[in-house]
Amino acid sequence: MNAVKRKFILDCDSGTDDAQALMMVLAQPDIELLAVMTVFGNANCDKTSRNCLRILKFKNRLDIPVYKGSDKGLIGDIPFTSNYHGYDGLGDIHIEGVDPIDIDLIQKEHAPVALVRLVNENPNQITLVATGPLTNIALALHLDPQFGTKLHDIYVMGGNTEGQGNVTPSAEFNFYTDPEAAYFVLNSIGKMINLCSMEVCERHGFSWEWYEKFTDGKTRSSCLVRDFEHSLITREKQKGIAKSYIMVWDQLTMASAIKKDLLIQSVNVYATVELHGMHTRGQLIVDWKKKQNKHQPNVRLLQQFNQAMFDSLIHMVTKD
Amino acid sequence: MNAVKRKFILDCDSGTDDAQALMMVLAQPDIELLAVMTVFGNANCDKTSRNCLRILKFKNRLDIPVYKGSDKGLIGDIPFTSNYHGYDGLGDIHIEGVDPIDIDLIQKEHAPVALVRLVNENPNQITLVATGPLTNIALALHLDPQFGTKLHDIYVMGGNTEGQGNVTPSAEFNFYTDPEAAYFVLNSIGKMINLCSMEVCERHGFSWEWYEKFTDGKTRSSCLVRDFEHSLITREKQKGIAKSYIMVWDQLTMASAIKKDLLIQSVNVYATVELHGMHTRGQLIVDWKKKQNKHQPNVRLLQQFNQAMFDSLIHMVTKD
Amino acid sequence: MNAVKRKFILDCDSGTDDAQALMMVLAQPDIELLAVMTVFGNANCDKTSRNCLRILKFKNRLDIPVYKGSDKGLIGDIPFTSNYHGYDGLGDIHIEGVDPIDIDLIQKEHAPVALVRLVNENPNQITLVATGPLTNIALALHLDPQFGTKLHDIYVMGGNTEGQGNVTPSAEFNFYTDPEAAYFVLNSIGKMINLCSMEVCERHGFSWEWYEKFTDGKTRSSCLVRDFEHSLITREKQKGIAKSYIMVWDQLTMASAIKKDLLIQSVNVYATVELHGMHTRGQLIVDWKKKQNKHQPNVRLLQQFNQAMFDSLIHMVTKD
Amino acid sequence: MNAVKRKFILDCDSGTDDAQALMMVLAQPDIELLAVMTVFGNANCDKTSRNCLRILKFKNRLDIPVYKGSDKGLIGDIPFTSNYHGYDGLGDIHIEGVDPIDIDLIQKEHAPVALVRLVNENPNQITLVATGPLTNIALALHLDPQFGTKLHDIYVMGGNTEGQGNVTPSAEFNFYTDPEAAYFVLNSIGKMINLCSMEVCERHGFSWEWYEKFTDGKTRSSCLVRDFEHSLITREKQKGIAKSYIMVWDQLTMASAIKKDLLIQSVNVYATVELHGMHTRGQLIVDWKKKQNKHQPNVRLLQQFNQAMFDSLIHMVTKD
């Protein structure tokens, strides 16, 4: 096959769900993953970098470079990172045959600089998928103001649209963790952003029964996912399983970028991010009723996906 | 019948929907409406006072006193009022046998002062229904810090909970118009507030067919509602009837106060109001996930009502 | 003497300096003090009310009514009060022949209601001197929007203009304690406010030597001041006397209202109050360079006084 | 002479005063200017880059590289730049023998990337002088979190400390133009910042008589300064010369970096920048009274200089 492959870059804060998004894109025969960029979020940037390298080594794909990015938000006011995905950001497990990972494998070039270089080397060809805070993208946009318009397209997991946050009463984790970056990227990238809000992600979760099969251990990857998700899943179940389903946010975002047919419904809107509220810092603001009509739509809100098709796609994570 | 009647006070910014809420409570044989308090909002306070007097005169109930309240929010920074309900706040019509109204009928006592007096004269007996900005209630609470605990109960129309405002991308009209009052009342009244958010109100609208019958002109009141809603309804229809239903927000709030059985579902939460955002000023903040667990629930969010029962109750507006 | 006396009202959060301001106005033969209004600040409102009654009893002037006002700021978000002036707000002393004071002497009418009544009974005749948070004035302005224009004049101690606050890095105590009230009064009172900022007050302090003589105990009042200032002064001296002078802020503000000739320099400006900053809530904002030229001057910033004349006037506090 | 020269980098938004700061450092025999970084501010970044090249060409020093930096603040919300220094940022003049300048002389490397490289190539050796918005420094700090600690020292012109801004009632131009950058640099650089606030700069201006001599045209440089300052000076004089002196802010900042003996008085404080106020966005916040004592001092506020020594130094701008 000589067909030209599509070119992807993943910018993530891996994270067990980012790890699955990475495994998903690695499994696509028609996609070339040019690089993985890392950012703080689910863990600090040393850890998220290491986690990406671990997944790549596990998949025998250390040919793909990992660039380390920012360890702080644009104004650096959120000193902590979450331990939701474990202290190391990937379930605190030992991966046989992988660990310990050699962190010298991290590229010397800083992620935003590499982003700018790669996008200029591959103008209008790169699909950028961002599943963590948007810090690296914001910095790339500062280094090259035309960065956004040189992308083929961009998919972002972040923000909430229905009045309930997951980290504060009003804000979603990725946007809350670096509100200034989210604000700057949304307002200045000059390219329509395909946005998977937390609500659309929640609506496309899977049942626990589904998850049992997904992690039945019949493949190496299935074992890996089962292991690195183990403590998080156990903790969720101990909480009484408030939710009857498992969330696969970053996986959905990657899937939506991989397969355009997945999308059933979307709407183009102007959206921005609240920076100044006492309670609402980091909240996505959608101008639903076009009250701020000086602004053109900058975001394609992805609203509904074909769940069966997503089911097929997510199974590529654990196919071997 | 010597049964003791329940005692109500309506605090409103009439407004065609407030007017119907007033007509609804007047039609209850077991309820004594002690007073009507007026506030700015749908029009300035002179106009909303006049409108309440007009409805009372139309219903031959000028025995009920009207107290004029605030013409500005607590910090006075929103200089305008909406003309959504017409320039006079009641559809800009002439009401035969009513107009012109004698504005000397407005009581000399200022609304918050009268509120405090009436509540102290009738401790633990008064149901307060507020369908406009909460300015008067906030001022009453300043004049008497125990004001709230001396109420029997309180029903408020205001706020939004699902991420879409009606006056800004994030805020609902009543709370946006005086965010400080809403903040102060929610945080300091010391009494659980029964809150009809704009979403629960939207979910309990009626169809246009229903509205045609409701305003079929078979009673004096039906004619009046038809007339004062005429220009608003016409304007809505010209917009292409984005909504397939008519909104009856203040009517629902009054109905929920009149008939407890109406309520099917509610949840007790801590809620407050954003004062400081660039985009989110006036937004209701609900601590859905109890992330601010230093706070006890202060709001009973009313979430679902018996629509058939509400249908019966709203028909009392136009029964004669 | 049949000359008509000037009419004053003092609104204060007494406070040892408010107490002296009260003693100063009581000593003016040509001024009738109509009433004392109390507000929270240096202590809660029960205590500041009690302190005013104590001073009046000490001066044998219980004929002057004391009206209790607000115990919370306009939005009620500052739950504490300072203990800078002692736990009881007046140096925690026993005043022989005065204590205990009968708190039933507090009037039943709430301070803002009384303010509105008195100003309407004496239109354009009252000089209002406010030496605490502006909560009562804000409420009075809500109850009667023309309240301000019916005053003869108004003198306020509050705000800072040179970039250093005394309670936060940016804000002065009185304005910080109720920023919304300060904002509303400045923007809506409709009457030029004579403002003594903390800087002008600091510039007109007296030396410690001066203070020794002022409190030499040669009069009853001199003894009283010496006693109720004792612990505060001792504490200040233990800090190492960072300042080489004693501050007499409320006394200066009262003096400026009593004697117009005291003023040497002033400037008319537009000024408002920051409500929304993370660091600057409560800061006075002066439009020095007329950058917000849509606004007319609303504040007369008092900038320099005749110190010798002030010295004479402040000695009336302890004259007998 | 084999003595090792001190190494400087200038980051500026030239600007007629930045231009003089550049001319001053070029005149120092013991200082090697490694590079000039440009940023938006007095004009957009194309213009400020061009202006720096023009000065270098005029001084026959095109061997010094000019790196173009950011054209937007960290969150990009201030779309405009000032025209105070002329539409081209340098008095809108034609410089004989210099203009037009070849803009291909601008380096291809982006300023923050070059900053990081140069500082790593010369660890602990570089004095960084920043006379414009701090955007480039903030970005460099993101690309290399240890950037600050690898500097020899840093001098910044920006912020105000005495309650009067020059671009808003509360904020100084450089910090207002990119508040997030100023906030991030102050809080995260990890190196004490030598700060020339607008007040210390104002206090060290020179008289108009002095300026006449300074620009008497007896040297090429004196003619140049006279010409590029002409329209600005004329405009200031037409305003009625509110100020009896000429401001030389960036020149003073550069002078303070060149000659340590210039400094007479300074104080170490914790300082930060207000991001969220309605009126105070961009205001420098100094914790004068150590109320935020969790924070160590991060800023050395330069408070007084030897004016005679500064006079000597500034004359090097026009010495030939």
Inspect the interface and report whether the beta carbons of B188 and C145 lie closer than 8 Å.
no
Q: Compare all CA atoms of chain B with the CA of C75 and give the residue at the minimum distance.
A: B184
Determine which of B46, B67, B75, B187 to mutate to test the interface with C (most C C-beta atoms within 10 Å): B75
CB B66 within 8 A of CB B52: yes
| Set of chain C residues whose Cβ sits within 8 Å of the Cβ of B72 | 142, 145, 188
Contacts of A98 (CB under 8 A, 6+ apart): A54, A57, A58
Residue-by-residue DSSP string for C255-305: HHHH-GGGEEEEEEE-EEE--S-SS-TT-EEE-TT-SSTTSPP-EEEEEEE
CA C74, CA C52: separation in Å to the nearest integer? 23
Q: What is the 3-state secondary structure (H, E, C) of D275-313?
A: CCCCCCCCCEEECCCCCCCCCCCCEEEEEEECHHHHHHH
In this prediction, residues A12-41 reach a mean pLDDT of: 97
For C75, the closest of B70, B76, B184 (CB atoms) is B184
Q: Does A71 touch chain B (CB under 8 A)?
A: no
E strand map for A158-308 = 193-196, 206-207, 245-246, 263-269, 271-273, 284-286, 299-305
Model pLDDT, residue C292: 57
Helices (H), chain D: 16-26, 45-58, 111-121, 135-143, 173-177, 179-188, 198-203, 208-214, 220-238, 249-258, 307-314
Position C123 in a domain: yes
Domain assignment present for residue A121? The answer is yes
What's the pLDDT band for A188 if we cut at 50, 70, 90? very high
Measured CA to CA, the distance from residue C283 to residue C162 in angstroms comes to: 10
Cα separation, D152 vs A185, in Å, equals 34
Amino acid at residue number A87: Y
- pLDDT at position D54 is 98
What sign does the dihedral C221-C226-C229-C231 (CA atoms) show?
Answer: negative
What is the C-alpha to C-alpha distance for residues C158 and C176, in angstroms, rounded to an integer?
9
- The residues in C 40-59 lying below 8 A from B, measured between CB atoms, are none
Backbone angles phi, psi at B99, to 5 degrees: -85, 150
Beta carbons of D28 and D61 less than 8 angstroms apart? no
Interface contact flag, C75 B275, Cβ < 8 Å: yes
Does any CB of chain D come closer than 8 Å to the CB of residue A107?
Answer: no
Q: How far is CA B2 from the centre of its chain?
A: 30
Helices C135-143 and B111-121 cross at an angle (nearest 10°) of 100
Asked if B110 and C75 come within 8 Å (Cβ–Cβ), the reply is: no
**What residue ranges of chain C have pLDDT lower than 70?**
1-2, 79-81, 240-244, 291-293
- Would you state the structure tokens that stand for residue C279, as one six-digit string? 């660091």
pTM for the model stands at: 0.95
The complex's ipTM?
A: 0.94
pLDDT at A292: 57
Range in A206-210, D16-20, D237-241 the model is least confident about: D237-241
Mean pLDDT over residues A45-61, rounded?
Answer: 97
Report the neighbours of B using a cutoff of 3 or more CB pairs below 8 angstroms. Answer: A, C
Residue D242's pLDDT band, with cuts at 50, 70 and 90, is low
Q: What is the pLDDT of residues A145-170, one digit of tens each?
A: 999 999 999 999 999 999 999 999 99
Question: Which residues in chain D touch residue C169, judged by CB atoms under 8 angstroms apart?
Answer: 285-289, 291-292
3-state secondary structure of A79: coil
- As a whole number of angstroms, the distance between CA C137 and CA C248 comes to 23
User: Among A27, A101, A113, A106, which Cα is nearest to A66's?
Assistant: A106
Is residue A13 within 8 Å of residue A249, measured between CB atoms? no
Over its C-alpha atoms, chain C yields an Rg (Å, rounded) of: 18
Of the two residues B85 and A82, the one the predictor is more confident about is B85
- Nearest-CB residue to C280 (from D161, D162, D277): D277
Chain C contact for D292, CB < 8 A? yes
How far are the Cα atoms of A149, A273, B126, B263 from residue A187, in angstroms, in the given order? Answer: 13, 9, 50, 43
Instruction: Sheet containing D126-130: give its strands across.
Output: D66-68, D31-38, D6-12, D126-130, D153-157, D193-196, D299-305, D263-269
Strands B271-273 and B284-286: antiparallel
Q: Is residue A246 very low, low, confident or very high in pLDDT (cuts 50, 70, 90)?
A: confident
Comparing A65-69, A269-273, B235-239, C253-257, which segment has the lowest mean pLDDT?
B235-239
Q: Per-residue confidence at B3, pLDDT binned at 50, 70, 90?
A: confident
The first and second tokens of residue C262, run together, are 């005291």
- String of b and e for A118-146 (b: at least 16 CB within 10 Å)? bbeebeebbbbbbbbbbbbbbbbbbbbbe
CATH number reported for the structural domain that contains residue C85 in this entry: 3.90.245.10
Mean pLDDT of chain A: 94
What is residue A295's predicted lDDT score, i.e. its pLDDT? Answer: 87
Range of the domain at C112: 6-318
Contact D268, D303 (CB under 8 A): no
Paired tokens of C273 = 């109050």
Bridge partner residues of B266 (DSSP):
B302
Q: Which residues pair with D267 in a beta bridge?
A: D301
Question: Which chains pack against C, by 3+ Cβ pairs within 8 A?
Answer: B, D
Confidence of residue B138 (pLDDT cuts 50, 70, 90): very high
| Contact call for D76 and A187, based on CB within 8 A | yes
CA gap B302, B235 in Å, rounded: 30
Say how many Å lie between the first and final Cα of chain A, rounded: 22
Task: Tell me whether residues A288 and B164 touch, CB distance under 8 A.
Answer: yes
Quick: pLDDT tens for A261-314. 999 999 999 999 999 988 999 999 999 877 656 789 999 999 999 999 999 999
Residue A247, CA atoms < 13 Å, CB-side half-sphere: 22
Q: Which of B45, B93, B118 is nearest to B233 (CA)?
A: B93
Cβ neighbour number for residue C15 with a 10 Å cutoff: 29
Q: What is the pLDDT of residues A37-51, one digit of tens each?
A: 999 999 999 999 999
Return the beta strands (E) in chain A as ranges: 6-12, 31-38, 66-68, 126-130, 153-157, 193-196, 206-207, 245-246, 263-269, 271-273, 284-286, 299-305
CA distances from C90 to C10, C52, C217 (A): 17, 10, 18
For residue D288, give the nearest of C164, C272, C276 by CB distance.
C164
Give the per-residue pLDDT at D102.
96
Whether residue A71 lies inside any domain: the answer is yes
- The interface residues of chain B toward chain C in range 211-270, judged by CB-CB distance below 8 A, are none
Q: Which residue of A has its CA nearest to D76?
A: A184
With a CB cutoff of 8 Å and minimum separation 6, the contacts of C34 are: C7, C8, C9, C64, C118, C122, C126
Distance from CA of B291 to the nearest CA of C (A): 19
Backbone φ and ψ for A295, nearest 5 degrees, come out as -100, 135
Q: Cα–Cα–Cα angle for C132, C137, C139, nearest 5°? A: 125
Q: Confirm or reject contact between C122 and chain D (CB < 8 A).
A: no
Q: What is the DSSP letter of A88?
A: T
Nearest CA in chain B to A293: B169
| Cβ-based neighbour number of residue B72 at 10 Å | 21
Residue A183: its chain D contacts at CB < 8 A?
75, 77
Percent of chain A with pLDDT over 70: 96
**Surface of C (169-208) touching B: CB under 8 A:** 180, 183-184, 187-188
3-state secondary structure of B68: strand
CB spacing of C285 vs D280 below 8 angstroms: yes
Q: Do C163 and D168 touch (CB under 8 A)?
A: no
Question: Cβ–Cβ of B76/C113 closer than 8 Å?
Answer: no
Q: Which residue of C has its CA nearest to B144?
A: C110
Instruction: Please tell me the distance in Å from C275's CA to the nearest CA on chain D.
Output: 7
Task: Say what the pLDDT of residue A81 is.
Answer: 65
CA-based nearest residue to A264, from A252, A246, A248 = A252
CB contact C123 to D (< 8 Å): no
pLDDT at D83: 84
CA–CA separation, A198 and A212 (whole Å): 23
Q: Does D168 touch chain C (CB under 8 A)?
A: yes
Q: Which of D70, D143, D276 sits opposite A276 (nearest CB)?
A: D276
Residue A120 sits at the chain D interface (C-beta within 8 Å): no
Tell me whether residues C188 and B76 touch, CB distance under 8 A: yes
CB of A210 within 8 A of CB of A318? no
Among A177, A167, A1, smallest CA distance to A73 is for A177
Q: Is the pLDDT of residue D319 over 90?
A: yes
| Chain C: closest CA distance from residue B70 (Å) | 7
d(CA A147, CA A139): 10
User: Judging by beta carbons within 10 Å of its beta carbon (0-12, 13-18, 19+), is residue D104 exposed, middle or buried?
Assistant: exposed
Q: Distance between CA atoms of C96 and C57, rounded to whole angstroms?
A: 11
Contact: D291, C161; criterion CB under 8 Å: no
Nearest by CB: C280 against D160, D162, D280: D280
d(CA B24, CA B318): 8
> Is pLDDT at D241 greater than 70 in this prediction?
no
Interface test with B, best of C110, C119, C142, C279 (most B CBs within 10 A): C142
Contact C47, C55 (CB under 8 A): no
Number of domains in chain D: 1
pLDDT confidence of residue A130: 98
| DSSP characters over B258-298 | H-GGGEEEEEEE-EEE--S-SS-TT-EEE-TT-TTTTSPP-
Instruction: Return d(Cα B95, Cα B227) in angstroms, integer.
Output: 9
Beta bridge partners of A284: A273
According to the model, what pLDDT value does residue D293 have?
Answer: 63
DSSP string covering A52-73, please?
A: HHHHHHHTT-TTS-EEE--SS-
Other C-beta atoms lying within 10 Å of the C-beta of residue A154: 22
Rounded to 5 degrees, φ, ψ at C153 are -165, 170
Q: Exposure string (b/e) for D138-158, b if CB count within 10 Å is 16 or more?
A: bbbbbbbbebbebbbbbbbbb
Q: What residues of B are in contact with residue C74 (Cβ under 8 Å)?
A: 74-75, 142, 180, 184
Q: Does C70 touch chain B (CB under 8 A)?
A: yes
Instruction: Please give the DSSP secondary-structure letter assigned to residue A188.
Output: H
User: Is B289 in Cβ contact with A166 (below 8 Å)?
Assistant: yes
pLDDT, tens digit, 9 for 90 and up, residues D163-180: 999 999 999 999 999 999
Q: What's the rounded mean pLDDT across residues B196-204?
A: 96
Cα distance between residue C61 and residue A88, in whole Å: 73
Which pLDDT score is estimated for B240? Answer: 60
Q: Which residue of D has its CA nearest to A110?
A: D143
